[in-house]
Amino acid sequence: MDISFVIGNGVSRKKQPLERLTNHGKVYACNYAAVDFPCDHGIALDRKMIFDLLSQYKLDCTLWSRKKWCDILTHRKTIFPLSGTPYPPVERWDLERHWSSGTRAAWKAAEDGADIVVLLGFDLWNKGTNNNVYANRDHYNTDPVDPKCWIYQLQQTFLKHPNTSFVSIQGARWRVPEEWNDLENFSKDTYKNLWEWLT
């Protein structure tokens, strides 16, 4: 069974021993998480973020971004291009330019053949504050972000990879988006159960 872990940047994953994940499957990390945790693949779509990662940090993972940034930015470390728009767009949020690093990382993990994709730190809901662990770092919005685009893009990811199981690891009170309730290949679980399962 091929298991992949995708590290998003919601505050729910703070203080979790995410470095342990590499012992159990491929790890995909978004933006600065690719610096903070050992991972196989780093996903960063923002041009300034990519430039910062390349110029300020030593990355020990394969780095992926939008093709246009791969063509523009030259560096001793190769940046690999993600596929363009993942599927023919119907809605505004389907367009490649609207996808975020987190949703593209989830898509790539499924595209790479994972049987199970475990999502960590995909918190979505913000209660009026920015709930990103990097909210005070460069290249991050300090205001709360409306999660509707992430909810839609992840829904499409789940729908278009019906043979992949997606599990969101959250606190017990985390609310599943209504749009996901009837998806047979999506479920949620807790960090406690995750670490017990991986032991």
Note the pLDDT tens digit of each residue in 87-118.
889 999 999 899 999 999 999 999 999 999 99
Residue 127: what pLDDT?
80
> Each residue of 51-95: pLDDT tens digit?
889 889 989 999 999 988 887 876 677 899 998 788 889 999 999
Residue 75: what pLDDT?
66
- Using alpha carbons, select from 37, 26, 34 the residue that is nearest to residue 56: 34
Q: Which of 12-16, 46-50, 156-160, 182-186 has the lowest mean pLDDT?
A: 46-50
Grade residue 13 by pLDDT with cuts at 50, 70 and 90. very high
- Using alpha carbons, select from 184, 149, 179, 182 the residue that is nearest to residue 165: 184
Beta bridge partners of 7: 29, 120
Beta sheet of 41-43, edge-to-edge order? 79-81, 62-65, 41-43, 26-30, 3-7, 116-120, 165-169, 186-189
Residue 177: what pLDDT?
97
pTM for this prediction: 0.94
As given in the structure block, the two tokens for residue 121 are: 């730190």
- Helix (H) / strand (E) element for 152: namely helix 148-160
Please state the rounded mean pLDDT for residues 29-57. Answer: 93
Residue 35: what pLDDT?
95
User: Which domains are delineated in the chain?
Assistant: 3-198 (3.90.1480.10)
As given in the structure block, the two tokens for residue 167 are: 């599990």
